[in-house]
Amino acid sequence: MALELGNEQERPQPLRVRTYGDPVLRRKAPPVDEITQAVRDLAARMIVTMYENEIRGVGLAAPQVGVSLRLITLATHDPDEPIPPNASPGERMLSPRMPIALINPEIVKASSAMEEAVEGCLSIPEVQGGVCRPASVVVKALTLGGQTIQAECGGLLGRCLQHEIDHLDGILFVDRWREVDSMAHGTQLRAIEKKAIRSASGGRRS
């Protein structure tokens, strides 16, 4: 799969994914005010991180790699695969360009129709749960090339965008899941949290 990896000569290196309990995940991230080479390099490293993680991610937000900025990367579609005929306009527009980075993404409009699906998060390893979200959202964002895009996004892309934009506001999917999941995974979450706190205070991660 072709990756657009910016102008770096060297292959971009993956970044450490911050886990539940790390305070950066709870911060509201400020917008990117200029698309500099540093922003492009960060996006390239986030894409590599997404692909090289033990569980391949379909989306990643900059706070998850410790950078509080409104930047996300997405890979909800393999561009070698055909786009399904029922794909939303946003999927039609963005899927062929994946993996893609979006800057300052915002939800302009959300459908009143809701949909529940199981979500997971690279920052909350081995935990999954059902989350109810609008079935489709109109998202506005900038591409790395500085192009403004706006489109109605449904399917996995619409869900992933909502999950990643939540990260930029310090919200995690476990804040939105069903009571039953929260009860089932409480102990697991507390264990991940303890580990992250230990790691932040200089302790070694196992």
Distances (CA, A) of 113 to 72, 139, 144, 160, 162: 25, 16, 31, 17, 14
Binding of Zn ion by 168 (CB under 5 A): no
Tell the smallest beta-carbon distance from residue 42 to Zn ion (Å). Answer: 17
Q: Which two tokens stand for residue 154?
A: 């449904």
**Which residue lies nearer to Zn ion by CB, 42 or 121?**
121
Q: Which of 52, 116, 164, 179 is catalytic?
A: 164
Q: For the chain, give me the number of helices (H) and strands (E)?
A: 4, 7
Catalytic residue list contains 164: yes
**Which residue lies nearer to Zn ion by CB, 35 or 155?**
155
Closest CA to 193 of 165, 172, 169: 172
Tell the smallest beta-carbon distance from residue 121 to Zn ion (Å). Answer: 3
Within residues 56-95, the interface with Zn ion by CB under 5 A covers: none
Q: Which two tokens stand for residue 149?
A: 């895009």
- Residues 47 and 52: their CA atoms lie apart, in Å, by 9
**Which residue lies nearer to Zn ion by CB, 131 or 151?**
131
**Which residue lies nearer to Zn ion by CB, 35 or 168?**
168
Rounded to 5°, angle at Cα 23 from 22 and 28? 130
Tell the smallest beta-carbon distance from residue 154 to Zn ion (Å). Answer: 19
Residues 6+ apart with CB under 8 A from 44: 3, 4, 5, 6, 8, 12
Within residues 97-126, the interface with Zn ion by CB under 5 A covers: 121
Rounded to 5°, angle at Cα 165 from 161 and 98? 40
Tell the smallest beta-carbon distance from residue 64 to Zn ion (Å). Answer: 6
Give how many residues touch Zn ion by CB under 5 A.
Answer: 1
The set of catalytic residues is 164
Contact positions vs Zn ion (CB under 5 A): 121
